[in-house]
Each structure stands twice: as C-alpha cells, then as structure tokens.
Structure 1
Amino acid sequence: MAYRGGLRASEVTHLKVGDIDSGRMLIRIEQGKGRKDRHVMLSPGMLDLGRNYYREAQPRGWMFPGRNRIVPISTRQFNQALGVACDFAGSGKKISPHTLRHSFATHLLESGAGMGVIQ
C-alpha cells in the first residue's frame, strides 16, 4: 500500500477498511499531512493484493490493526515490519516507508506521468 499508493507511513497505519473504494478505484486518506483529506489512485494490482490480505487477515475497522485490534498499528510497528520484509527478501539495504514513497513518485515520473499527477 505504501509503495503502490505513494502513502506516508501514518497514512498506511490509519487506513480503514471502508477507505478503499474499489468501484471508483480510489483510496480515501483522512486527516493526512496538514490534517487534509485526499484521494489517491488504487491500481488493479494493489486492489488484488488488498483483497488477498483482507481474505487472510479479515480486518474489522482498521485495515492494519495493532495488537489490541481496537487501535491501528503504530508507525514504529510498520517500520519494523518493513525491515523484517527487507531482511526476508535479502535486499541487504535499509528501506524506510519514505523510501517507498519516493520510489513511487520516481517510477511515475519515469513512466511519463506529469508533475501535477505526482503531486
């Protein structure tokens, strides 16, 4: 979600199941940076991954619940999970959620998207 949507760590951790609009292929981000709401594109690949995750985890309320399930995972837990995934993949590099956000923007730019779309 962080890479395919270009989301900030806090935006990923605070996603709710109802924020995914598969009909319009959008994700609603509530209270993002600057306490502003916005929509980001939902790619077909991200929708498939999200559906697979949903079937497996069956989250209620928060898309990525914390240990308590009443609260979302923390950005620290998200960072740790990303580190474990990178170690598992054997990349040998330290990757942060912000690295994923930058990679998203770079790949959009390289594919010919305009700066207005990326911003």
Structure 2
Amino acid sequence: MSEGWTIDGDHLAPDEVVASLRTRTNDGRLETWLTSSSGRLLTFVTNSERAMVMLLDGEGDAGEHAVDPGAGGESDGFVLSHGQNDTYPNADTVPIAQALRIVGHVVREGSWPADAHHVSDR
C-alpha cells in the first residue's frame, strides 16, 4: 500500500499536493505541514522564491532537509503560521520550483529524488 498524505486533515492525491502548495503560497500561507498515513511529516516553508523542505520520520524526529550546495547568502520572508518571520541561509533552502518537484516526488515515491541534495539533521 502506498503512503497517503494529508494537509490540514484533507487527504490529497499525489498530483493534488503540488497544486495545493502553489495555491497556499499564492494565498500567503507560506508554511505547510503534510502528514502521511505512516506518520511521517513533510514540511514546506517558502518565501515564494525559495523553500525549506524537511522530511521527518514522525513527531520529535529532527529529520532531513533539502539543500542547495554552494548557494551563498541568505533569504528572509519565511513566515510561519504563528507569524514568526524566519531567515535561512540559501544553502539550507532550494528554489521554489525545485522544492515543488522534491515534494511531488516524495509524495509519489516515498523518498527524495535521486538528484536532490539533502542532509540529515538527526
């Protein structure tokens, strides 16, 4: 059985997840937590240009996150749902198009794309 994913309790087909993230971003909802049927969590936080993508095995897991090796500088505008505005090094985020591709692959295949750089935070 493949893993199913929900956003805010609503089950989404894999092809609907990326569209939902685009809509949420356009609506100014820049932080999204996806929950899988196996208890894994996928976090997407964006400033509309770059995104932090984290995959956790469950609550309390430090997880793994997508990286952009060699990217310099930092970006702000990563607004969390409670209003906190975060700044991240660009090396710890990826361009939004790449982030959406990564999320789409994870919800379809259950793992990082082979060409996506990521690091463990465990």
TM-score (structure 2 length as normaliser): 0.28
Bigger fraction of residues in strand: 2
Q: Which has the higher contact order (CA 8 A, sep 6+)?
A: 1
Structure having the higher Rg:
1
